A and B are shown apart, each in its own frame.
Chain A
């Protein structure tokens, strides 16, 4: 074992603005995939609980596939798999679709747990106070569900940020992809990935800190 490697941090520092810009892309695509994923997740959860049979089966299939196969496999499906049907998405949409598919599957289970945790009597109590079904849903049930799923949701956002690094493999240049492209140009692979790891760490910590702040502000009483 001989140590004859000199670290060169300067090329990395010179490209730091590029990396930071790419990390904004990472944040953007993760947040977008979360927003669409939450919408789909809600629909999937409701369909699984009380949708018509065929739709409930499709929802169950989606959730189980998203949860029981690797995220990378799902990305491959959206790149090669859809390519077999002559549908060629751009790398951006491959990553967005893959992340959204995965997020929706995991979130659907969280939402289902949330809905089941709110007792049915809450709904009946709201209705007997004279609220309409819509009012009791939006003012009584949903806020309680939201409180239950808030923590799993922020966890899922963190997972989305970490998962978006798979974009490196399908050739989309968010933080990991950009790092790979730059690293293999200069062969300073270790240095580039070390800095990127640090950026991811800071991003995750900022997200968790902000979510804790929001939770403290929202769920104070």
Chain B
């Protein structure tokens, strides 16, 4: 009698442990790309707000392209570009880099809005107090302008957290990829999807409520 090896297997407690691990991967990817993307985005937003014409036609156009092309296409495109130029890079770092650039394109828009919301009189006032340009930016424009757009920034960050699910197309085992593999193996779609969805919901929902709360508080 020859033994048959089943491709499918039952759903064991060990399988359930895969999902928190994958959720951690999702969290790491999101945290890395959101933090670097935000720093870059503030820098880009600052450049865009300072150099109206040159900034708009160069940096503005490039960032706009990142916002107008689906993230999944960007991921496949740039992952293959890394291969084309002979740069061996694993899916994790490729995903983080592309997500960070994507985040920076979204944050740049938000940051520019915030920086431009601080009016010229405010800047003139701070210059009259003897602050130089950098001091004005550092102590007046950023604290006021960036705080005003904080709720929108939270919205962008939440979007990226959810979009990090797309890194699965590169084959990195983040939450949704692991969920999909588990479904194929254990044939328990409802349970696995419910757990995976609960993880995303638990990450996203409190933050979105907090942002809505802040927005309401600051409006009144």
Interface residues of A (CB under 8 A from B): 1-5, 64-65, 67-73, 76-77, 80-81, 83-84, 158, 162-163, 165-166, 168-169, 176, 179-180, 189-190, 193-194, 196-197, 200-201, 204-205
Q: How far is the CB of A122 from chain B (nearest CB, A)?
A: 21
Contact B77 A68 (CB under 8 A): no
Helix, strand, loop or mixed for chain B's interface? helix
- Is B77 within 8 A of A73, CB to CB? no
Chain B min CB distance to A81 (Å): 5
**Does A80 lie within 8 Å of B74, measured CB to CB?**
no
B190 touches A84 (CB 8 A): yes
* Nearest Cβ on chain B to A77's Cβ, whole angstroms: 6
Q: Are A165 and B73 in contact (CB under 8 A)?
A: yes
Task: Enumerate chain B residues within 8 angstroms of A200, measured Cβ to Cβ.
Answer: 68-70, 73
Q: CA A189 – CA B76 in complex, angstroms? A: 8
Report the minimal beta-carbon distance from A156 to chain B, rounded to whole angstroms. 13
Of B46-54, B81-89, B91-99, B146-154, the segment with at least 4 beta carbons within 8 Å of chain A is: B81-89
Inter-chain contacts of A168 with B (CB < 8 A): 72, 169
7 examples of A-B residue contacts, CB within 8 angstroms:
A4-B86, A68-B208, A70-B165, A80-B180, A190-B77, A190-B84, A200-B73
| Chain A residue, CB-CB nearest to B74 | A197
Query: Given A193-B77, A200-B70, A204-B69, 4 more contacts at CB 8 Å?
Result: A64-B205, A68-B201, A80-B193, A197-B69
- List residues of chain B with CB under 8 Å of any chain A CB: 65, 68-74, 76-77, 80-81, 83-87, 158, 162-163, 165-166, 168-169, 176, 179-180, 183, 189-190, 193, 196-197, 200-201, 204-205, 208
Known: A67-B208, A80-B193, A169-B169. A2 touches B86 (CB 8 A): yes
C-alpha spacing A64/B197, complex, angstroms: 12
Q: Check if B176 sits within 8 Å of A70, measured CB to CB.
A: yes
Instruction: Report Cα–Cα, A4/B122, bound state, in Å.
Output: 55
Chain B residues within an 8 Å CB radius of A69: 162, 197, 200-201, 204
* A169 to B177 CA separation, bound complex (whole angstroms): 11
A27 CB to closest chain B CB (Å) equals 14
Are B200 and A73 interface neighbours, CB within 8 A? yes
Closest to A69 in B: B200
B165 touches A176 (CB 8 A): no
Tell me the minimal C-beta distance from A65 to chain B in angstroms. Answer: 7
Question: A72 near B190 (CB under 8 angstroms)?
Answer: no
**In the complex, A163 Cα to B83 Cα: how many Å?**
26
Q: Give the docked Cα–Cα distance between A201 and B85 (Å).
A: 24
A residues within 8 A CB of B189? 80-81, 83-84
Closest residue to B202 on the A side, CB-wise?
A68
CA A216 to CA B85, docked complex, whole Å: 46
CB-based nearest A residue for B192? A80
Instruction: Say whether, besides A165-B70, A190-B77, A193-B77, A73 and B208 are in contact (CB < 8 Å).
Output: no
Contact of A193 with B165 in the complex, beta carbons under 8 Å: no
B77 to A204, Cβ gap below 8 A? no
B8 to nearest A CB, angstroms? Answer: 14
- Taking a contact as CB atoms under 8 Å apart, the answer to whether A76 and B208 are in contact is no
CA A1 to CA B208, docked complex, whole Å: 43
- B73 near A193 with CB under 8 A, answer yes
| A73 & B165 in contact (Cβ 8 Å cutoff) | yes
